[in-house]
Structure 1
Amino acid sequence: MRKVMITFVAMMLTLQVSRAQKLWTEADRKYTVDNLKRTRDEITREVENLTDTQWHFHESPDRWSIAEVVEHLALWEIIWAREISIGTRSKPQPELNKTSRPDSYYANWIMEDTPHKSPDFSRPTGFIKGKDNLTFFTKLRNQHIAFTDTTRADMRSCFEFTGTDARRNMHQVYIFQWGHVDRHMRQIRKIKAHPNYPKAQ
């Protein structure tokens, strides 16, 4: 009986230490979930009532339509999911926070005015029509929200696998994820402000 009690106490102490050392706080979780929901809802309001012509309008032949922008966002939801899945299933490395950049670096970078070049694997195909792109994006984003709202992973101790000296932790990946939508919201509004953008029927 005494051994059982000692084992139980040891387990409880270990659990308490583990909780005390967790870097990703409940405030971090709320901040992340709130922004994932906010950007989902904002893009929904921005595009859900577009006509088919508006969805597929191009400012010029080399520019994406709103449909392609939203498809691009959905493709990145898949990419973020894979990155977060790998990061959270790997051994935590909280010591890497000593060399990682601050959160503000990633928030500022994703929202800078300088154009970013999309890698080939995230470029839209254009095969998905109109509002189906929003359905594609929303389904994936809702999966992210459900996971983030319940995960026990310490997102500030889980890091991506890259060869850089300043690797991102998963909380910083989330900043990229919701910030990426904010960035492309500017693009969508620019498309809608074009003088040749079709008027609603």
Structure 2
Amino acid sequence: MLFFLLISSSLLAQTPAKLWTETDRQYTLDNLKRTRDELTRETENLTPAQWAFHESPDRWSIGEVVEHLALWEIIWAREVSMGSRSKPQSELNQTSKPDGYYAEWIMEPTPHKSPDFSRPTGFIEGKNNLLFFTKLRNQTIDFVSTTTTDMRAQFELTGTDSPRNMHQVYIFQWGHVDRHLRQIRKIKQHPNYPPASLSTK
């Protein structure tokens, strides 16, 4: 019996403590849910004309913004899936940028150029864009709720000087929605934005 206790103690001593804490998990879940719910509140009652309104020909409509967000939900999920299956590299945390860098960068006022693979098609109508986003976001929430992966020890598979760990990828994921919520609210403030009473069904 003493032998097995010694073996168990030895194995426990060799198991590194997780860097991704339950506080980190809850913080991620809270923000994933918060941004999902804020996007829902901003868009769930829009009329077709409001979904399709463009501030100018070169600007996205709210429908296109939400489609863009849904496309990124797929991209983030793929990045986390690949990063989670890679070899843990907790040592990279010593030289990677802090969490605050990513939160500040995603919300900076400077325009970001969307890569071609995440540009909206505009083919999805109205509220279907929200349904598209919500289905994917809920899948992420379910995964974050149950995963045993140490998200601060797993890093993305890109060759950068300061790669992001998976917790930081999640900061980008919910922060990206915050960024575009700002855009949606700006669209709604445009003087030509259609009032609900005049929008056609």
TM-score range, shorter chain: over 0.9
Q: d(CA) in 2 for partners of 1:174 and 1:96? A: 17
Matched, 1:70 2:66: yes
Unpaired runs of at least 5, structure 2: none
2:3 counterpart residue number: 6
Amino acid at match of 1:30: Q
> Residue 178 of structure 2: SS of its match in structure 1?
helix
Matched, 1:90 2:90: no
Query: Following TM superposition, by how much is the alpha carbon of 1:9 offset from its aligned partner in structure 2, in angstroms?
Result: 4.8
> Residue 71 of structure 1: SS of its match in structure 2?
helix
1:135 pairs with one of 131, 134, 145: 131
After TM superposition, list the pairs within 5 Å mapping 1:20-59 onto structure 2. 21-59=17-55
* 1:76-126 deviation digits (Å, cap 9, x = unpaired): 000000000001111100000011000000000000000000000000011
Matched, 1:106 2:108: no
Normalising to structure 2: TM-score of the pair? 0.94
* 1:161-187 deviation digits (Å, cap 9, x = unpaired): 111110000000000000000000000
Kindly report structure 1 stretches of 4+ aligned residues shifted beyond 6 Å. none
> Residue 69 of structure 1: SS of its match in structure 2?
helix
Q: Tell me the number of residue pairs that the alignment of Structure 1 and Structure 2 aligns.
A: 197
**Percent of paired sites with the same residue:** 74
> Residue 21 of structure 1: SS of its match in structure 2?
coil
Query: Following TM superposition, by how much is the alpha carbon of 1:51 offset from its aligned partner in structure 2, in angstroms?
Result: 0.1
Query: Following TM superposition, by how much is the alpha carbon of 1:26 offset from its aligned partner in structure 2, in angstroms?
Result: 0.3
Alpha carbons of structure 1 residues 200 and 13: separation in structure 2 relative to 1, 3 Å = farther
Q: d(CA) in 2 for partners of 1:156 and 1:127? A: 37
* 1:30-89 deviation digits (Å, cap 9, x = unpaired): 000000000000000000000000000000111000000000000000000000000111
Matched, 1:160 2:156: yes
Alpha carbons of structure 1 residues 13 and 131: separation in structure 2 relative to 1, 3 Å = farther
Query: Following TM superposition, by how much is the alpha carbon of 1:10 offset from its aligned partner in structure 2, in angstroms?
Result: 2.4
2:188 counterpart residue number: 192
Root-mean-square deviation (Å): 1.4
Q: d(CA) in 1 for partners of 2:14 and 2:174? A: 32
Q: d(CA) in 1 for partners of 2:180 and 2:7? A: 50
Q: d(CA) in 2 for partners of 1:6 and 1:82? A: 44
Amino acid at match of 2:156: E
Normalising to structure 1: TM-score of the pair? 0.94
Query: Following TM superposition, by how much is the alpha carbon of 1:11 offset from its aligned partner in structure 2, in angstroms?
Result: 4.0
Alpha carbons of structure 1 residues 102 and 198: separation in structure 2 relative to 1, 3 Å = same
Unpaired runs of at least 5, structure 1: none
Q: d(CA) in 2 for partners of 1:8 and 1:123? A: 57
1:122 counterpart residue number: 118
